Amino acid sequence: MNIANYVTLLRIVIIPLFPFIYLKYAFFKIPFFWMPYILLFILVFCELTDLVDGFLARKRNQVTDLGKVMDPMADSITNIAVFFTFTQSWIDIPILLVFVFLYREFFISTLRTICALKGFTLAARTSGKIKTFLQATVSIIIVMLLIPFTLGFISLETLRWASVTLVSIAAIYSVISAADYIYANWKFVRKFLLE
């Protein structure tokens, strides 16, 4: 463990606050008006720690195997936790969309792990980084849409339509990025399948 890994761990510890605040804001005596601002703060904080841990690891020359595992794991936990939260209450996106993200992460992570055990590493892809950035951006936009919703400027129907549209775009790109990952690493994947 080093400072960069502790920052990554902090992101994993903080993100469970997101569903608690969204679903139980009244229990915590948080005014409805303030709820989206707190959610936005949590998301932005998590995204900043994602930038900081990578920066610290490279600057201090402390890139570790643990960090290489923890960072994408923290990304997956953050994004999937947020999207599962969005299946509830006002936003109410279809849970099947979240399973697209979940299956993609499990499939790629399992493939990467098995190949690593076989002695070869699957190269990361730019499409995977874009996928993570897109999911984070969609999450932030949806939370920002909660602000005019709480103020009565947009209707519940508009909030839900916009949310489903945005998450659908992210889900489609997740499938594309998975296909790109498999295609780019096909010689390793094929080797794994044939052994």
pLDDT at 143: 95
CA distance 137 to 143: 10
Question: pLDDT per residue over 58-115, tens digit each?
Answer: 776 766 666 666 777 788 888 889 999 999 989 999 999 999 999 988 888 777 777 7
- Listed range (44-48, 62-66, 124-128) with the worst mean pLDDT: 62-66
Question: What DSSP designation does 195 have?
Answer: -
Q: Among the CATH numbers 1.20.120.1760, 3.40.50.1110, 1.20.120.1200, 3.65.10.10, which is that of 3-194?
A: 1.20.120.1760
Handedness of CA 78, 82, 83, 84 (dihedral sign): positive
pLDDT at 140: 94
pLDDT, one tens digit per residue, over 127-159 is 888 888 899 999 999 999 999 999 999 999 999
All residues at 6 or more sequence positions from 190 whose CB lies less than 8 Å from its CB, including other chains = none
pLDDT at 41: 94
| Cβ neighbours for 71, distance < 8 A, ≥ 6 positions apart | 8, 50, 53, 54
Q: Model-level pTM?
A: 0.85
Q: pLDDT grade, residue 194 (50/70/90)? A: low
pLDDT at 1: 63
